[in-house]
Structure 1
Amino acid sequence: MDDSAVRSGSPEELTKTPPTERTPADDDATRAPDDTATQPSVDAQHPWLGLASFTEETRAYFYGREDEVAELVRRVQRKTLTLLFGQSGLGKTSILRAGIVPWLRPTGYSPVYVRIDYSRESSPPSEQIKQAIFRATQESGQWTQTGVAVAGESLWEFLHHRDDILHDASGKTLIPLLIFDQFEEIFTLAQTDDFGRKRAAEFIEDLADLVENRSPKALEARIEQDESAAERFDFTRSDYRILIALRGAASSSRSKSPRRSCVSSRAAPSCGMPKSSRRF
């Protein structure tokens, strides 16, 4: 379930180590947000950050959103997918980073910040996500299996390897929490040309399989040819969570182009208001 990175002995298998060749775009896309370089100083006498977002480091000065944070935490704990959307400037990023994450991290969740780079020079979005998972979970714990990730496998396959569990130093099981901030970029930056639209469509389908916890069609086809292929995966597990934040304008425009705007036309909660969502 860990990141597909450098190749090990088998040409198709990957160990749980970061890739040996990476682009600057990949690093930007998988790095957890860090505003410390531009963020104004904050203390008890100066608790306001102006237009900057609050972070885990400045969460002590983040007030007034306790009810929303508590509700969103409950939704994340109960549902695979939680969608947070609202107009720009209403504090979604602060709620994520200074509210939800500090609450969930001590309770067995491993936050994975994801910001997809849709440029031609970047890796495919799903590969960027797998790298982000590796970088984040490497700091919080370790996986029970090595060499199980295969180059080019889907996100669903990546997070369903049999007996591949993330544990912290004490042996406690951790749940990866994939956090997609500014997800609306898939409706803008990823739609500038045919290359971007094709890549975005493939990513949306991959993400939809993960959200709906359904095995990808390509995997089903392989199993039909060789039933032993199913032995590598645990089809019952759903020990991950997905939290998507996007601007309200982008979310409301999805209905104009359902095939390109929704998480997938096959994904029940992803078009319109999801079953587990919160509007601000």
Structure 2
Amino acid sequence: MADRKKKPSPTQSDASSDGLDSLVPNSDEARKILSGWGSDLRIALLFLTRLPLPASFGLEIKKGAIAPAMRAFPIIGASLGIFGGLIMGLSEIFGWTPLVGALLAILAIALLTGALHEDGLADVADGFGAGTSKQTRLDIMKDTQIGSFGVVALIFSIALRVAILAGFSDVGAASAALIAAASASRAALPLIAHRLKPSRKSGLAVSAGSPDDASLYAALALGGALTLLFLGPVGGFIALIIAIATCFGVIELSRRLIGGYTGDVLGAAQQICEIAVLLAALAVL
């Protein structure tokens, strides 16, 4: 007698089919994930840099448009890191020391971004360092005058990043570390905006809005992928763990001291996470 193959029951087939279907996004979900990248890249470029773009580029950022565009932040960060790497490469061609090349790279990126993140770091250092209550901290952070804590934080941030970049064995390794750090640190920003509420009733944190889960996961995936690409699987994994821990440290500190976050907190977080990734990269490359 010939063997008969056992056919799966309709119930088993339906269950398997439903399980697979739940893992595959439908056409509407896929379209949402894949669409709008051009607009988000434009908004991210406008928000994170101070490039002299033509009016035809569309220079207006509407309220609430920044939050969904945060998924593109790691791409802009990687682009800034690539530019810094080119500066270090040119410095080597001209015969300048690694220290000079690193300093010029950090300066060039600061000029491209309008020192946006450095300004946030200085304000947070002043507010968190000198303030004695939530309101006094927020008031100090809003003050346009820089204090002693802000000056020390800026000097420390610039000097440490320059020293780290100059400490790599070659320009290629320094450039890879800078690209990974610039990307991963900007991927941390939507995580903060997603986890915390704005500390003020107005300001950047309110106008930017909170990124949804899809935008957050896209940013984290991009930042993680770029970090692994440029630092390798082992170095990239270590750097990402350190970056995530650093980011959650900033989140907890900001929640405890000002009850949420501001635009300055995002800037400070970028600087701190960038330093953390650079330190991790220096240890493994």
Return the TM-score normalized by structure 1: 0.28
Higher strand proportion: 1
Return the TM-score normalized by structure 2: 0.28
Which has the larger Rg? 2
Higher helix proportion: 2
